[in-house]
Structures are given as C-alpha cells and as structure tokens.
C-alpha cells in the first residue's frame, strides 16, 4: 500500500509547501490535495522534487459537472488542463466528482433539471471521451461517490453501486473508482464486502472515521479489519489520509500511517 497525506485537511495554518515538508517529516512519501487553481504549482513541483515526495492525486474538476450536457465543453477543457498539470507534477491520478460543490459542500444547482437516466448517460459519455485523453497522458481518472447525508447533500454519485455502474459502462483501464471509506460508511454501505468483491474496480482508497471525519480509531469504522483485508488481497494502490485530525496533526499523521504500511 502507498499511504498519502491530504494537505487540505492537515496543517491548515501553514503555507502549502510547508505542509509538504511536514508530511515528509511525518514519514509520508506521497501527498494529495483538492483544487489546483489556488496553489503555486511551480513551488509544489520544486518541493516535490526536493523532498522526493510524490503528488499522488488531486482534483480534476471543480468548476464543472460531469452530469449535465451544458457543462460538457467546460468539464472536458477543465480535465484536459488538469491532465497536463498532472503530467507536469508526475502525478499518476486525478480525482473526478459528478457535481460541482459549493463552499459548504452541497452540490451546486444544475443549469436545468435532468432525470437520473440523463445524468448517467452524460456522465458515461464524458468519461468515455476523457478516458482516451487520460490514456495519452498515462494518468488514471478516479471517479468518487460522496455521502449526501452529512457532507454533500444533492450529489448525484452517492453510492458505490451507482459509481460502479458508470465505471463498468466506460470499461476503460484508465477509469477506476476512488473509494472513500468514510463517505460510503456514512451512507450505510458494507465497506468490507464492497472492497472484497470489487477491488479490481477501485483505483484508490481514502480514509477517515465516522462519525466525525477524524482519524481511524475515533469512530465506529473497523479500520483494523479493513487494513487486514487489504493486506490479504495484496492491495498495492494508494491509501489517502483524508481526515481532520482530532489531536496534534503530526501525532495523528504518524499514528495512522502504521495501519497502512
């Protein structure tokens, strides 16, 4: 497994490159983040190279949805820009969301109402095009379902089943699922069963406990069993620490790292 630290939820009072240095000091060889438009990309590239710290994943779309035809041109252009940037940062994967999120986490209103069937058709059509582009760059696209009960009301992709259906329809090696254990647990899904049955469709896992979205061990999710299952299945992919630490960030980062090495 390849643990990475999410620099959006850790060391939030520090400049971004200092967060990278703190992640490295905590024992991590990889980091992730969300939006790239608010960051100094060249500084990130240089710091990544200096520390030999991989940029594991970042958001490919924040301004446009994948589910509305009126957003199609915009989202394709946005993801293409993100692919070029990922190549510049030697980043192997982009995270894709079905919806555009508002600052409070809710899904932004769509340009016009659509049926679930039309949303899925648009999502699959857009992913099909983007998969071919991602293949040129040798970068994976990771489609992520979010929970709509606590953090992201209104999001179209709010279940593993629906996301798996979309990825299977695209059926391309560059398109996989970003399986956020916290989000799917909040939605009441059987995380262990889904990982056991469908690991081949999962390109990356993210980690936080529920309730609270803090580090594993602070909530009800059985992370020791999840880590044991991943070892049994010989999972070699990324595991993102995307939680808000409830204790000193350096201590939380180091403690959770032990679960997934």
Who contacts 86 (Cβ-Cβ below 8 Å, separation ≥6)?
55, 58, 60, 92, 93, 94, 137, 139
Domains, the chain:
2-260 (3.20.20.150)
Predicted confidence at residue 258, as pLDDT, reads 86
By the 8 A CB rule, do 61 and 75 touch? yes
Q: How far apart are CA 126 and CA 146, in angstroms?
A: 19
Predicted confidence at residue 261, as pLDDT, reads 77
Q: How far apart are CA 185 and CA 243, in angstroms?
A: 14
Who contacts 238 (Cβ-Cβ below 8 Å, separation ≥6)?
1, 2, 3, 4, 30, 56, 57, 93, 203, 204, 205
By the 8 A CB rule, do 225 and 193 touch? no
Question: Mean pLDDT of successive 10-residue segments in the chain (261 residues)?
Answer: 96 97 97 97 98 98 97 97 98 98 96 95 96 96 98 98 97 97 98 96 98 96 96 95 96 91 77
E-assigned strand segments in the chain: 2-6, 30-32, 54-59, 93-96, 140-143, 175-180, 202-207, 238-241
Q: How far apart are CA 223 and CA 216, in angstroms?
A: 6
By the 8 A CB rule, do 118 and 98 touch? no
Q: What is the pTM of this model?
A: 0.95
Residue 137, classed as helix, strand or coil, is helix
């Amino acid at each position: 497994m390849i643990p990475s630290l999410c620099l959006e939820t850790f060391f939030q009072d520090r400049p971004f490159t200092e967060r990278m240095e703190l992640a490295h000091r905590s024992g991590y060889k990889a980091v992730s983040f969300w939006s790239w438009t608010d960051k100094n990309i060249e500084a990130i590239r240089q710091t990544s190279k200096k520390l030999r710290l991989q940029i594991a994943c970042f958001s490919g779309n924040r301004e446009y949805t994948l589910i509305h035809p009126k957003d199609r041109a915009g989202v394709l252009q946005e993801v293409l820009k993100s692919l070029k940037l990922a190549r510049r940062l030697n980043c192997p994967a982009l995270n894709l969301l079905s919806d555009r999120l508002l600052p409070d986490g809710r899904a932004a209103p769509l340009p016009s109402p659509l049926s679930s069937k039309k949303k899925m058709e648009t999502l699959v059509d857009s992913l099909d095009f983007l998969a071919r582009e991602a293949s040129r760059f040798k970068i994976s696209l990771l489609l992520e379902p979010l929970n709509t009960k606590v953090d992201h009301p209104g999001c179209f992709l709010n279940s593993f089943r629906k996301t798996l259906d979309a990825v299977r329809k695209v059926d391309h090696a560059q398109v996989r699922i970003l399986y956020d254990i916290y989000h799917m647990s909040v939605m009441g899904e059987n995380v262990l069963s889904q990982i056991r049955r469908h690991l081949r469709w999962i390109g990356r896992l993210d980690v936080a406990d529920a309730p609270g979205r803090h580090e594993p061990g602070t909530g009800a999710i059985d992370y020791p069993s999840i880590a044991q299952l991943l070892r049994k299945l010989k999972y070699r992919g990324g595991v993102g620490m995307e939680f808000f630490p409830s204790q000193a960030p350096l201590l939380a980062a180091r403690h959770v790292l032990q679960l997934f090495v």
